[in-house]
Amino acid sequence: MYCIICGNEKTGMKLLSQTVCKDCIDEMRNISVFDERYDFYKNFIRILLGYYISEKHQLNPVN
Ligand SMILES: [Zn+2]
């Protein structure tokens, strides 16, 4: 499984049905809002959430 953020092959966990490694999860969890990478992660989560919602939508076309 490859981490969708850093691309490294590591043991990861599922975040919005994508694989994210523990290092990236830890960084996201601990990042300061003043860090320049904060916006990167924020946008990344927004994109993942967009995919996640549309995936669910396709699975259940009635809604
Ligand atoms: Zn990673």
Q: Give the pLDDT confidence score for residue 63 in this predicted structure.
A: 59
**C-alpha 14 to ligand 1 mean position (Å):** 12
| pTM of this structure | 0.73
**C-alpha 15 to ligand 1 mean position (Å):** 12
Q: In this structure, are residues 21 and 11 in contact, taking their beta carbons and an 8 Å threshold?
A: yes
What pairs with residue 19 in β-bridges?
14
Dihedral sign of CA atoms 23, 29, 31, 36 in order: positive
Looking at residue 2, what DSSP letter applies? B
Each residue's pLDDT tens digit, 25-58: 999 999 999 999 999 999 999 998 998 888 776 6
Query: Is residue 59's pLDDT more than 80?
Result: no
pLDDT tier at 23 (50, 70, 90 boundaries)? Answer: very high
**C-alpha 53 to ligand 1 mean position (Å):** 22
Q: Give the pLDDT confidence score for residue 1 in this predicted structure.
A: 81
